Amino acid sequence: MSRLELHQQKLSELAGIEVTGPFEDSLYRLTCIVGELLAARRVSLMLLDIAPGNKGARLKLAALFGELPEAAWKEEPATGQGIAGQVLVSGHSIRVANINRSDWKRHARHAEEQGGFLACPVTLAGRPAGVLNISLPIDRGSFSATDQANAELAALLIGRAIQVGRLNRMLDSRFAQMAFTLEGATDACSVISLSTHDPDKVAKMLARGFYREMRHCGFTPNQVIHAAGEIISELTGSLNRHKKRLGSD
């Protein structure tokens, strides 16, 4: 298979991917395809998340193809901080042939690594939502302008896949539909906007919907609190299992 045919195949995979199973697994599949598309040893996808302690939106590593120090999973750069944060704010991708000879050196977290890298903004419905980082090109010292164009297209397709995946899962959930109805968000535009741009608001809507439905069914406030405690316990267990699985990958 020629390099052009491989590019076309991988771009088709990105365009046609369906977000199924655990969401994190789908994100990992996306980074793997990008790594094969651009012949890179490392691809990382960072997405905006709500940081604890009222720190506002922060970038957080969501999926990784290749290797990074364990500490990378705990880093939460603010918008505008570091290379990824600046790419997110600017909305423009960058291509660097050699980090040690560029103006980006002082912002790099892995300046000791040789070779070029790419960083492309990921948008959801036209708004910044994350950054796709690609580094360590295989069998060449740096990425080309064609690689950058392919990376930008890959970032666009990843954004579309995340948006469609989130929306489909919201629409598949009867509980989510009930919560949207209780909040008066019944039209398609409001559902799409909330699920795409305000995931934290959706989480609060689901929590309120859970409380209202429990009370509607006749459960006492103490019973609701007990049920919420069971949910937190189950969530903690699931997160711990997820962390162990990440550590064993």
Mean confidence (pLDDT) of the chain? 80
Q: How many residues does the chain have?
A: 249
Q: Do 181 and 142 share a domain, yes or no?
A: no
Paired tokens of 27: 């994100």
pLDDT at residue 3, as a whole number: 77
Name residue, tokens 């189950």: 234
Q: Do 151 and 182 share a domain, yes or no?
A: no
Reported pTM: 0.73
Strands 117-124 and 57-65: unpaired
Which DSSP letter does residue 21 get? S
Domain that holds residue 15: 3-168
Which DSSP letter does residue 150 get? H
Q: Do 97 and 159 share a domain, yes or no?
A: yes
Is 90 exceeded by the pLDDT of residue 87?
yes
121 forms beta bridges with 131
Q: Do 121 and 215 share a domain, yes or no?
A: no
Decide if 112 contacts 123 (C-beta within 8 A): no
Paired tokens of 55: 């720190």
Lowest model confidence (mean pLDDT) among 25-29, 57-61, 152-156: 57-61
pLDDT interval class at 220 (50, 70, 90): low
* Helix, strand, or coil (residue 225): helix
Residue 17: give its domain's CATH number: 3.30.450.40
Selection from 127-131, 175-179, 235-239 with the highest mean pLDDT: 127-131
Q: Do 94 and 212 share a domain, yes or no?
A: no
pLDDT average, residue stretch 92-99: 87
pLDDT interval class at 46 (50, 70, 90): very high
CA dist 237 and 232 (Å) reads: 9
Is 90 exceeded by the pLDDT of residue 91?
yes
Tell me how many domains the chain contains.
2
Q: Do 184 and 143 share a domain, yes or no?
A: no
b/e for 96-121, b at 16 or more Cβ within 10 A? beebeebebeebbeeeeeebbbbbbb
pLDDT interval class at 212 (50, 70, 90): confident
Is 70 exceeded by the pLDDT of residue 120?
yes
Among 168, 187, 214, the domain-final residue is 168
Q: Do 137 and 178 share a domain, yes or no?
A: no
pLDDT at residue 106, as a whole number: 62
* 76-85: Cβ within 8 A, 24+ apart: 76/49, 76/51, 79/48, 79/128, 82/107, 82/109, 83/107, 83/108, 83/109, 83/119, 83/133, 84/46, 84/59, 84/119, 84/131, 84/133, 85/59
Among 149, 168, 187, the domain-final residue is 168
Name residue, tokens 């944060």: 85
pLDDT at residue 236, as a whole number: 77
